Structure 1
């Protein structure tokens, strides 16, 4: 975990939660709860607005988040953490806190995440092959964060740490177009 850097206010909150969860032996349950909350925020425009908007008072945010956490079955450290964040008027940074916490958990487990962009969804066999190839290259367990972007036409773009491999058809076609312009 020493090589994982989380910075800023969101990083400080995430580090504090991570250390508490580690001491309590509850890293997995906290991560599961935060992942569930993150999915809820992504699915609901109203919840995303509640989290991001400075218009709502701390009391309104706290009571709304308490009800949402209760309904979602999120309690314990994760629930108390979200309530504290709402009380402190830092709910706008909750998504970044969740990402930073996930990064700390991955570092502790020796995992890394690769952002993969594809033109169309990959089959399970292709995902497994890509995951295995990246694991062999990095020597770590690799988690894939796959997004679909039809504008790349074909191929894929892989971002792993500070490295990026762009094997998209769109980039190859652009390279050919630029080469053809130079020939004229």
Structure 2
């Protein structure tokens, strides 16, 4: 696990590492890492799809107790595992719910590394189909030389194409970037 200047260097990375270690060391559930990762995926989807849930995680006026109650109720609705539910409660108590997106990204990177995979952050203009994701994983696997876990997000401002980030490499084939490049070239 990378500790010097890597994931653990950030606040969200330290929380993600703590959650990962809790899941990894859970003797009662050998598949706890997968269960937590799946639960965090549902939390990420809830953040993206529910403005109310997103507001709950970022509202500084909400007391710690009310934030904790709200997150516990949401956790029951989106069906997260017990470890993740307790973790969300800790985040609410420590006023760190706004860090959830970064914590989820860091946890996914830790879990992928644990499985011997590398993680690619993929931003597309439109949601990708399962077949497109599988084809993209195959192409990235051929390029990187090992299995690739993908972290998908959508940014309609790209207009079309993809932005793929693997480690320090970034592949930007978005129409937005191409149009900006063309505009700069035309200015001379």
TM-score over 0.5 for the pair: yes
Runs of at least 5 residues in structure 1 that lack an aligned partner in the other structure: none
2:125/2:155 contact within 8 Å kept? yes
Runs of at least 5 residues in structure 2 that lack an aligned partner in the other structure: none
Matched, 1:160 2:170: no
Q: List per-residue Cα deviations over 1:117-158 (Å, max 9, x = no partner).
A: 455565655543332221112112113345555665655443
Structure 1 length-normalised TM: 0.80
Matched, 1:71 2:73: no
Matched with 1:12 is 14
Alignment of 1:83-162 (within 5 A): 83-118=89-124, 125-147=131-153, 155-162=161-168
SS at match of 2:24: helix
Q: 1:80 aligns with which of 72, 81, 86?
A: 86
Q: List per-residue Cα deviations over 1:51-100 (Å, max 9, x = no partner).
A: 11110000111111122222333242111111112122222222222221
Count matched residues: 182
SS at match of 1:2: coil
Q: CA RMSD in A?
A: 2.8
Matched with 2:45 is 39
2:35/2:81 contact within 8 Å kept? no
Matched with 2:54 is 48
SS at match of 2:149: strand
Equivalent-residue separation in structure 2 for 1:90 and 1:69 (angstroms): 16
Higher Rg of the two aligned structures: 1
SS at match of 1:21: helix
SS at match of 2:2: coil
Equivalent-residue separation in structure 2 for 1:155 and 1:179 (angstroms): 20
Q: 1:175 Cα deviation (Å)? A: 4.8
SS at match of 2:17: helix
Higher relative contact order (CA 8 A, sep 6+): 1
Q: 1:180 Cα deviation (Å)? A: 5.8
